[in-house]
């Protein structure tokens, strides 16, 4: 009951109406700006996520996360922007979906086209797995690349629709254009580096060519290997001398011969005889 009483109070009602009016005026002025800023972040982070020259794999994953979050934010600001314009009767309801309807001007219709493209881009991002498993994976890339068309159209809509933009708005649009241009430059350099790497690999693969094998050389080699070798001497180990027996050692001691040390009875290293060059071994 206390809340109903507060709302029934004329002063409280006027304050609430004033706050709602200020909120609607703020959204009317800045919802479209926030949509353009979010779309700029979507395009910039999407381009940066494909870079392999500057960013590490971890930073590329982070850029992809920011890219998705910016797309969701851009879609939310777009819905708010359209709802405010329709409620305040700045645009017809059908104009928010179909361009060039309801007596809309060219600048407003450009915003409708950009909105439809943004919804398409977001839908393709959500359904990327479906496109990857289909027979036409290139279709996803073509549809998702509509962001390069959506961004300049939304920029033209923001500059031409509504009242005359302030200087700081123009500077903000210029900054957005500079960020997108920088991201496009990095993307172009990355693609150029990939193409150069592929060309080097292809040149290296073409430069390596195994020698052609002649049938005559194969026949001569097979004939030579089939002939028995005459001068080849196989690898042989020298016969190990037998150790002296106990009786032989005793007879040597009785004859007065000097006793050999223990290490002298061990056989020496066995000589290794290699095959002669020209044999088949």
Residue 53 has what pLDDT? 72
Three-state SS at 120: helix
| Closest among 150, 60, 80 to 111, alpha carbons compared | 150
Question: Which residues, listed in sequence order, are joined to residue 236 by a DSSP beta bridge?
Answer: none
Q: 279: buried, middle or exposed (CB in 10 Å: 19+, 13-18, 0-12)?
A: middle
Q: 161: buried, middle or exposed (CB in 10 Å: 19+, 13-18, 0-12)?
A: buried
Six token digits for residue 60: 């590329």
Q: Which residues contact 230 (CB under 8 A, 6 or more apart)?
A: none
- What's the gap between Cα 110 and its chain centre? 33
Residue 1 has what pLDDT? 45
- How far is it, in rounded angstroms, from Cα 95 to Cα 108? 8
Six token digits for residue 198: 């592929």
Residue 4 has what pLDDT? 47
Residue 276 has what pLDDT? 53
**Is 50 in contact with 187 (CB distance < 8 Å)?**
yes
Mean pLDDT by runs of 10 across the 281 residues of the chain is: 51 71 83 90 87 80 90 92 88 85 81 91 85 76 87 88 76 87 83 76 67 65 59 51 66 62 55 53 48
Instruction: For 272, list phi and psi in degrees, rounded to 5.
Output: -115, 125
| Closest among 172, 165, 140 to 39, alpha carbons compared | 172
**Is 281 in contact with 229 (CB distance < 8 Å)?**
yes
Which one-letter DSSP state was computed for residue 279?
A: S
Q: 68: buried, middle or exposed (CB in 10 Å: 19+, 13-18, 0-12)?
A: middle
Three-state SS at 133: coil
């Amino acid at each position: 009951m206390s809340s109903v009483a507060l709302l029934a109070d004329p002063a409280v009602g006027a304050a609430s109406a004033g706050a709602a009016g200020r909120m609607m005026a703020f959204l009317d002025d800045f919802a479209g700006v926030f949509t353009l800023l979010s779309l700029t972040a979507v395009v910039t982070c999407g381009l940066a996520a494909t870079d392999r020259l500057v960013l590490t794999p971890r930073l590329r994953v982070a850029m992809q996360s920011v890219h998705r979050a910016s797309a969701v934010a851009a879609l939310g600001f777009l819905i708010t922007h359209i709802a405010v314009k329709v409620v305040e009767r700045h645009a017809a309801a059908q104009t928010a979906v179909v361009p060039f309807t309801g007596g809309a001007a060219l600048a407003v219709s450009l915003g409708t086209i950009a909105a439809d493209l943004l919804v398409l881009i977001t839908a393709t991002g959500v359904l990327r797995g479906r496109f990857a498993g289909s027979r036409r994976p290139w279709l996803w890339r073509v549809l998702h690349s509509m962001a390069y068309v959506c961004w300049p159209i939304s920029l033209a809509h923001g500059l031409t629709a509504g009242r005359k933009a302030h200087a700081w708005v123009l500077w903000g649009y210029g900054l957005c254009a500079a960020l997108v241009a920088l991201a496009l430059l990095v993307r172009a350099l990355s693609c150029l580096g990939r193409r150069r790497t592929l060309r080097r690999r292809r040149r290296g693969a073409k430069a390596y060519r195994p020698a052609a094998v002649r049938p005559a050389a194969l026949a001569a080699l097979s004939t030579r290997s089939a002939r028995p070798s005459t001068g080849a001497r196989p690898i042989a180990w020298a016969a190990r001398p037998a150790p002296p027996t106990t009786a032989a050692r005793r007879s040597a001691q009785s004859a007065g011969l000097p006793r050999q040390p223990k290490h002298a009875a061990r056989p020496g290293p066995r000589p290794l005889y290699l095959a002669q060059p020209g044999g088949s071994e």
